[in-house]
Structure 1
Amino acid sequence: MNKEWYQHILREQLLPTIQEQFGDEQCLFQHDGAPCHKAKVITKWLGEQNIDILGQECFNSRSLALQAQKKILSKMATVAVANLLTDDVSSEILDELYKVSREFTKSKKEAHKIVKDVIKIALKIGILYRNHQFSPDELDTVERFKKKMNQAAMTAVSFYEVDYTFDHRILSELLLECRDLLHALVEQHLTLRSHTRIDHVFNHFAHGEFLAELYGDGEDYRLYLRKICNGINKLLDEGTL
């Protein structure tokens, strides 16, 4: 069986079954060592379909964002947010957030779900905003959220750059305030599932133990934090945050 025909079988038979059984959950795929299973075209396709190969690191935030965009925008009459979250800087930050979340939770599946929720939340709010779905009062909430997120971003970078200033309570409080503003913003627009995603994301990143590890002395965490803060600084300089 050639690789192209095998990919056709995976696409037409395996993927629909996985989606029916597991929905949006990340899956692990374990092959038996056969050459067709190791072929680049197959492993690449599995990664694009959000199916990890057991023992390999397939996560790529850009691919995940593009996949989410395709799924969400297919239901919309606009492509105004087609490039949201797929720029180099945002992708790099999301990749590092995945790595640090994986390190903390000891779970690829949970880390993947956290970043996937970040992407879905950002996409849906971006679509609402660019399609003028928010009322004047909600637009005020948008501005308050932007300011609070900017404050949280600058605080996160400051805690990294200035020794002995880190206080997880301050950063945690800022992130939870961002969470509450998002809940208020989408109250009339998104489902309970989206509210659950918002809680999932912000409760994770605002968790005191997570922040303590992130800003601790661990070499891996310091590397992740440096890359995250470098990316945040770029977004701040661009006026994106």
Structure 2
Amino acid sequence: MATDSTPKKVKKASVFLKLKKNLAGKISSKGAKLFIDDEWSETLDNIHALIEAQSDTKTADKIMKNVIKISIKIGLEVDEKRFNSQELEILVNLRKKLKTLMLTLISFYEVPYSYDPELCSQLFQDMNKVIKNLLEGHVKEKSLQRCDYVFKYFSDPKVMGSSLEGDSKGPVKTQMGALCSSLRVIIQNNKLVEI
């Protein structure tokens, strides 16, 4: 029985990237704050508080955990220059769609009775499609399912309506105000480039 004594070549970058992705999957929202700036940290805190006000802590924790995992995986792919030119175009489109979504949410919040549930739902669904299109072939199916979970929550017109409809009041409306303030800071400080 002959054995091949030549060492098997292992692509270090691939192994290292898999390790980083695995670690990214284990990072909690508190741990992720070590890697992001104050503006994004405040925004994530406001998103968590909004979800918690709309539903419960468990749902908020699960959604934020998934948002952070997805964001880190996109960041790792960018850092490792793993996206081809077509995927880089998708990334640029993602940033544009994210900015449009942020500006739309701010507008819905600031202009009473302007909330359009169909438009809002469609914007979140479009974000989901773009992110999944970007990550397809780079992550496991479970990560793509995380995208579906997050965006299914936000694309529900009742969820966003509870904080954006003209007659909404209380802690949900207050949290949406805090979120819109932090989104405005992100846009004004051009922090979308750092995604």
Q: TM-score normalised by the shorter chain: which range applies?
A: 0.7 to 0.9
Cα deviations by residue, 1:88-145 (Å, 9 ceiling, x for unpaired): 221222112112212222x322210100111110011011012110011111111111
1:162 maps to which residue?
111
- Gap regions ≥5 residues in structure 1: 1-22, 25-48, 51-60, 67-81
Distance in 2 of aligned mates of 1:180 and 1:219: 32
Matches within 5 A, 1:168-187: 168-187=117-136
Matching residue's letter, 2:139: L
Q: CA RMSD in A?
A: 1.9
Matching residue's letter, 2:74: I
Matching residue's letter, 2:57: K
Which one has more relative contact order, counting CA pairs under 8 Å at least 6 apart? 2
1:90 maps to which residue?
40
Distance in 1 of aligned mates of 2:98 and 2:163: 19
User: Moved runs in structure 1, 4+ residues, more than 2 A?
Assistant: none
Distance in 1 of aligned mates of 2:81 and 2:106: 32
- The count of corresponding residues between Structure 1 and Structure 2 is 166
Cα deviations by residue, 1:171-201 (Å, 9 ceiling, x for unpaired): 1111110100111111110001100111111
Distance in 2 of aligned mates of 1:159 and 1:110: 24
Matches within 5 A, 1:44-59: none
Matches within 5 A, 1:133-212: 133-212=82-161
Matches within 5 A, 1:20-35: none
Matching residue's letter, 2:38: D
Once the 2 structures are TM-superposed, how far is the Cα of residue 238 of structure 1 from its aligned partner? 1.3
1:65 maps to which residue?
32
Cα deviations by residue, 1:149-187 (Å, 9 ceiling, x for unpaired): 111111010111112211121111111101001111111
Distance in 2 of aligned mates of 1:201 and 1:146: 17
CA contact (8 A) 2:39 2:185 kept: yes
CA contact (8 A) 2:120 2:157 kept: no
- Gap regions ≥5 residues in structure 2: 1-24
Distance in 1 of aligned mates of 2:113 and 2:57: 31
Name the structure with the higher helix share.
2
Matches within 5 A, 1:2-41: none
Correspondent of 1:224 among 154, 175, 181: 175
Matching residue's letter, 1:123: I
CA contact (8 A) 1:141 1:181 kept: yes
CA contact (8 A) 1:102 1:110 kept: yes
- The sequence identity of aligned pairs, in percent, is 28
